[in-house]
Amino acid sequence: MRKFEKISFEQFKKDVSDDKKLYDSIVLPVRSTSKSAGYDLRSIESGIIKPGESMVFKTGLKVSMNDDEAFFIFDRSSFGYKYDVSLSNSVGVIDADYYNNEDNEGHFSVKLINHGKKDFEVKIGDRIAQGIFIKYLCVDDEEKVVKKRIGGFGSTGKEE
């Protein structure tokens, strides 16, 4: 099932803070219009990104999807066009097995980089990226993959 959830308050306390009011204010992503492909992702942190620097913004979210899908995180179009700000990794890819992993419950963040000449401010609640669910295909002659995810961010290269 495709859905967004807040991470648990216990995970939130580990990753962000013990601020229950902030936790309760987390907004699940929505599409802005009936024809929007992307779900707006909002920051639960504030910060100012200086020119040439980058900053990670937590979302307080995890995402569940079907086994043959991934959740892709893209720039907001206006960020690059108006402010020269983009995702530091160009596109974020969240695999289906990242959801509820043992390290961080699948909590995902967004890292922005400022290529511009002016400071870029992000406030709590600002839309900082957009996410799109995409089905993917595998090659027909692939050997069965049996390796399981053993952790959170960056864990697919780790050995069990």
Give the model confidence (pLDDT) of 111-127 as tens digits: 999 999 999 999 999 99
Distance of CA 48 to the CA centre of its chain: 19
Rounded-to-integer distance, Cα 39 and Cα 151, Å: 25
Give the model confidence (pLDDT) of 2-40 as tens digits: 999 999 999 999 999 999 999 999 999 999 999 999 999
Which residues sit opposite 64 in a β-bridge? 3
Report the pLDDT value the prediction gives residue 80, as an integer from 0 to 100.
93
* Other beta carbons within 10 Å of 29: 17
Q: Which two structure tokens, joined as six digits, stand for 72?
A: 């892709």
Quick check: 93 and 69 in contact, CB under 8 A? no
* Other beta carbons within 10 Å of 16: 19
- Which domains occur in the chain, in start order? 3-148 (2.70.40.10)
Give the model confidence (pLDDT) of 68-79 as tens digits: 999 999 999 899
Which pTM value belongs to this model?
0.89
